[in-house]
Amino acid sequence: MTANYLIEIVDVECDGLEVASWRVNTGEAWCVFGRNGSGKQLLDRLLTGDLTPRKGQLSIAVASSKIRLVSFEAEQAIYEEERRLAAGDWIPEDEQGTRVEDFLPRDKLDDPLIDTLKMRHRLHAFYRELSTGESRKLLVLKAILEDAQLLLCDNPFDSLDQQSVVALGDTLAQAVSRGISVVLLLSNRSDIPAWIQHFALVECGRMTPMRADAGPAQRALLDQQIAGLAVGEPSLPEDAIALESYEADYIAELNGCTVRYGGRPVLDELTLKIAPLQHTLVTGENGAGKSTLLGLITGDCLQCFSNDVTVFGHRRGTGESVWDIKRHLGLVGSELHRRYAVRCDVLSTVCSGFFDSIGLYDTPSEFQVRIAREWLAAIEMSDKASVGFQSLSYGEQRLVLIARAMVKSPLLLVLDEPTQGLDEVNRQRILGFMSSIEARRHSTLLFVSHREDEFLPLFRQHLHLKLNP
């Protein structure tokens, strides 16, 4: 390669994104910063060839095989492929898909970066056993060990515990030291690593690179860009359905529950009781079993039927209808986000929360449509009611799914890292909703988070899960 640069853009315009001038040289570390819906995700598509400029010059001096993207969409592609294989005759009955080690070059399984990211003990696990955070770490490892030259990471620190955030930051810094150009697309200022050299801002579909030296002036400019964008006091729609009365002592009871995958105990003799309006916070390292715990309650983990689990007064496995559970339950999480891959407009997506369906297959009442529109107004997305859900950015999709979970004022609102992919403004908006829920006795919250600034005073119970060796 004779050029010193990897990417050079001059006066490029494409649908939703304009870039006057931008150049990425070999071994540079960039942060591209922007709010949800600003257009920064279109940069991924532009650089990976999924988006063609209608004017201007785009020069890419690196083979497409050496450009790697770490994002929700990239994780989704692997997830869908694993589902496709599982649905066919490709996987033997005694296996569960592709093992982690098979995603990595065989001759590099002794690379110390595997230890830096604490993935050594997961090499023999199947991909479908990984948490969202572990999946993200795997994609970063795969890109670096396969000698990528340009690594694009879309909010890579989302859904990671604090130790993993530090480890991933160190790993990406090492990638830069190995000569890999790293571009981080971020929505939160607190996620910007100290080793970032260059900044660019994306606002209203226009990307503006900043000066090359990463000093206090650049971070002050970032602060200026977001100043005045903070939300006021977010509150629930006035017509939100009042909380139903609930007479039992507990909404959910788990007694001595054990869950094993491949012989490894993910949860071991876990007991948890959630009383009405006893808002509960769940924390723990990636892979410690937080999503598995939620699956026992929601029924997404089939081992709930072999454990002592009671939800809304129904003991799992005693003939209860799935709808007896779902009609009282609201859910947001990465697994739902992955499965919500249907053609559906935004308003229909929110309305589907009344029917607990992926997509809308029933006709909502006028009242239900009105409530759904009020929730869209609450998340400031009324103007996108008729827009396709899949056309939204990842962060915008997450906001819509949160509205979908809240729309029926469920007895139990299960929020598994709900602010994943959200910018600072929208994250504060969602946390404001949580406070309103507490004040109005709207629902009982079961909330999973890694971010200490989300450990709100309203949580009366805190369960911290530890990673089993």
DSSP letter string, 83-127: HHHHHTTSS-TT--S-BGGGGS-GGGTT-HHHHHTT-GGGTTSBG
Q: Cα(224)–Cα(232) distance, rounded to whole angstroms?
A: 18
The predicted pLDDT at position 86 comes to 65
Residues 65 and 170 in one domain: yes
Q: Are residues 335 and 201 in the same domain?
A: no
Same domain, 159 and 36: yes
DSSP per-residue string spanning 321-374: -HHHHHTTEEEE-HHHHHH--S--BHHHHHHGGGTT-SS--S---HHHHHHHHH
Q: What average pLDDT does range 4-22 have in this prediction? A: 91
Query: Which pLDDT does position 238 carry in this prediction?
Result: 63
Question: Does residue 361 share a domain with residue 442?
Answer: yes
Q: So what's the pLDDT on residue 263?
A: 75
What is each CA distance from 116 to 161, 190, 240, in whole angstroms?
A: 14, 22, 47
Residue 245 inside a domain? The answer is no
**Sign of the alpha-carbon torsion through 117, 428, 414, 383:** negative
Closest alpha carbon to 440 in 209, 190, 146, 238: 238
* Distance from C-alpha of 49 to C-alpha of 202, rounded to nearest angstrom: 19
Tell me the mean pLDDT in the region 384-412. Answer: 92
Interhelix angle 162-177/132-145, rounded to 10 degrees, is 10
Do 68 and 156 fall into the same domain? yes
Domain boundary among 208, 226, 244: 226
Q: Per-residue confidence at 121, pLDDT binned at 50, 70, 90?
A: confident
The confidence band for 435, taking pLDDT boundaries of 50, 70 and 90, is confident
Q: Are 213 and 153 in a shared domain? A: yes
Are residues 205 and 283 both part of a single domain? no
Termini Cα distance of the chain: 45
Q: Confidence class of residue 228 from pLDDT cuts 50, 70 and 90?
A: very low
pLDDT over 90 (residue 344): yes
**Percentage of the residues of the chain whose pLDDT score is greater than 90:** 51
CB-CB contact of 326 with 356 (8 Å):
yes
49 DSSP 8-state letter: T
Q: Has residue 303 been placed in a domain?
A: no
Count of domains observed in the chain: 2
pLDDT at 466: 87
Most confident of 160-164, 209-213, 246-250, 460-464: 460-464
| Report for 82-91, 233-242, 309-318: range of highest mean pLDDT | 309-318
What is the reported pLDDT for 235?
62
Give start and end residues of each alpha helix (H) in 234-289.
none
Q: Which of 226, 248, 267 is at the close of a domain? A: 226
The residue out of 226, 249, 265 marking a domain boundary is: 226
Does one domain contain both 43 and 147?
yes
Q: How confident is the model at residue 147 (pLDDT cuts 50, 70, 90)?
A: very high
Residue 179 confidence class, pLDDT cut points 50, 70, 90 = very high
**Which range is least confidently modeled, 58-62, 318-322, 412-416, 441-445?**
318-322
- In this predicted structure, the answer to whether residue 415 has a pLDDT above a threshold of 90 is yes
pLDDT value of position 241: 56
Q: Which domain holds residue 447?
A: 277-287+319-465
Tens of pLDDT, residue by residue over 375-388, are 999 898 999 999 99
In the predicted structure, residue 446 carries a pLDDT above the cut 80: yes
User: Does residue 219 have a pLDDT over 80?
Assistant: no
Q: Is residue 446 part of a domain?
A: yes
Could you tell me the two tokens for 230?
């903070």
The identity of residue 352, as a single letter, is S
* Main-chain dihedrals φ then ψ at residue 193, nearest 5 degrees: -70, 155
Q: Which domain CATH number covers 404?
A: 3.40.50.300
Give me the pLDDT at residue 94, please.
Answer: 47
φ, ψ dihedrals at 138, nearest 5°? -60, -45
Rounded to the nearest 5 percent, the helix, strand and coil shares of the chain are: 35, 25, 40
pLDDT for 1 equals 40
Q: Domain for residue 417, yes or no?
A: yes
Residue 366 domain flag = yes
Q: Is 171 helix (H, G, I), strand (E, B) or coil?
A: helix
Q: How many other CB atoms are found less than 10 A from the CB of residue 118?
A: 18
Each residue of 277-325: pLDDT tens digit? 999 999 998 888 898 999 999 988 888 889 999 998 888 888 777 777 8
Tell me if 359 is assigned to some domain: yes
Q: Is residue 253 part of a domain?
A: no
Q: What is the pLDDT of residue 38?
A: 86
Q: Work out the average pLDDT over 400-414.
A: 92
Instruction: Report, as an integer, the average pLDDT of 142-168.
Output: 92
- Residue 283 shares a structural domain with residue 180: no
Q: How confident is the model at residue 209 (pLDDT cuts 50, 70, 90)?
A: confident
pLDDT band at 19 (very low <50, low <70, confident <90, very high): very high
Give the pLDDT of residue 412: 93
Regarding whether 323 and 214 lie in a shared domain, the answer is no
Mean per-residue pLDDT over the chain, rounded: 86
Q: Are residues 79 and 222 in the same domain?
A: yes
| Mean pLDDT calculated for residue range 2-16 | 85
Q: Is residue 301 part of a domain?
A: no
Residue 41: which pLDDT band, with cuts at 50, 70 and 90? confident
- Pairing mode, strands 264-274 and 252-261: antiparallel
State whether the Cα torsion 232-207-188-193 is positive or negative: negative
Shared domain for 47 and 165, answered yes or no, is yes
User: d(Cα 294, Cα 284) in Å, to the nearest integer?
Assistant: 13
Both tokens of 63, joined, read: 């083979």
Position 240 pLDDT exceeds 70: no
Q: Cα separation of 224 and 313, whole Å?
A: 52
- Residue 198's SS3 state is strand
pLDDT at residue 93, as a whole number: 44
- Taking the C-alpha atoms of residue 406 and residue 393, their distance in angstroms, rounded to an integer, is 20
Transcribe 275-323 into DSSP letters. Answer: -TT--EEEEE-TTSSHHHHHHHHHS-SGGGGGSEEEETTEETTSS--HH
Cα separation, 245 vs 92, in Å, equals 48
